[in-house]
């Protein structure tokens, strides 16, 4: 990893907004998912929440990847557990909904810890989710249509949140991530091949230096350089030493 790339990733992490997120209630079209997560990354969101029925979560894991793997996706089996978790972290829940109690989305204070709830493409947010929300928000329309595409609506709201947070200095607070998570993101972003090998060989990520260099001892490098066949043989040898045969 070059020092320039290290600095670029570090700068990105320094502006992450851990207390701003979106929660997608069964938004299922891949292009919408990708567009929303891409916008989330653009405004500094670190984690997006997605609600899918428990029997379909395993099918969705392949598509639940952040924009260029920079955004973490947290999966939930039902909307109640998702909102319970978000409220437990102190977030206000904003549901996009056209109703009598809805307010203009620009009237909300997005500098507070905030989760924006977006509903399924065809049916929108469920009554259960609406009942759990703290506020209902709406994007004003003056044309014939009454709603925007879910990814477009997400972008409009998120950039209002970004505008308010920028004015409030929320992007100047420094990296909010724990050191271990920050190091992992830097390593995966700067050394994707080594990161994949670490996962395959169940090896811990090494620490990185101030310029993004790998700080690892000779043992780590030796294990990293083993071929898959050599690594498998070493693992078998280790197992044999841990569980010696009783045969003579």
Q: Is 185 annotated as a binding residue?
A: no
Q: Is 86 annotated as a binding residue?
A: no
* SS3 category, 90: coil
Task: Tell how far CA 167 is from the center of its chain.
Answer: 24
Q: Is 114 annotated as a binding residue?
A: no
DSSP string, 223-247: HHHS-HHHHHHHHHHHHHHHS----
Residue 132 makes CB contacts below 8 A (sequence gap 6+) with 79, 80, 83, 93
* SS3 category, 103: strand
**Which among 120, 116, 99 has a CA at the least distance from the CA of 108?**
116
| Known binding-site positions | 96, 139, 148
* Binding-site annotation: residue ranges for S-adenosyl-L-methionine: 96, 139, 148
């Amino acid at each position: 990893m070059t020092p320039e790339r290290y600095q670029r990733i570090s700068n990105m992490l320094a502006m992450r907004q851990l207390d701003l997120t979106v929660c997608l209630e069964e938004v299922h079209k891949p292009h919408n998912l990708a567009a929303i997560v891409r916008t989330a990354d653009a405004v500094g969101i670190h984690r997006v929440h997605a609600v899918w029925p428990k029997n379909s979560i395993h099918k969705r894991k392949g598509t639940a990847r952040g924009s260029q793997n920079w955004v973490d996706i947290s999966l939930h089996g039902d909307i109640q557990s998702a909102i319970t978790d978000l409220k437990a972290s102190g977030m206000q829940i904003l549901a996009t909904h056209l109703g009598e109690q809805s307010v203009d989305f620009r009237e909300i204070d997005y500098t507070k810890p905030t989760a924006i709830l977006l509903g399924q493409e065809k049916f929108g947010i469920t009554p259960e989710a609406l009942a759990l929300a703290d506020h209902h928000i709406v994007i004003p329309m003056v044309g014939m249509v009454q709603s925007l595409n879910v990814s477009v609506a997400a972008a409009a709201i998120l950039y209002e949140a970004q505008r308010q947070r920028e004015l409030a200095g929320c992007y100047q607070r420094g990296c909010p991530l724990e050191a271990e998570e920050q190091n992992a993101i830097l390593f995966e972003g700067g050394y994707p091949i080594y990161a994949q090998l670490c996962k395959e060989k169940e090896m811990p990520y090494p620490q990185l230096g101030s310029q993004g260099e790998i700080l690892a001892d000779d043992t780590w490098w030796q294990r990293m350089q083993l071929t898959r066949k050599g690594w498998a043989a070493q693992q078998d040898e280790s197992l044999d030493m841990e569980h010696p045969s009783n045969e003579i």
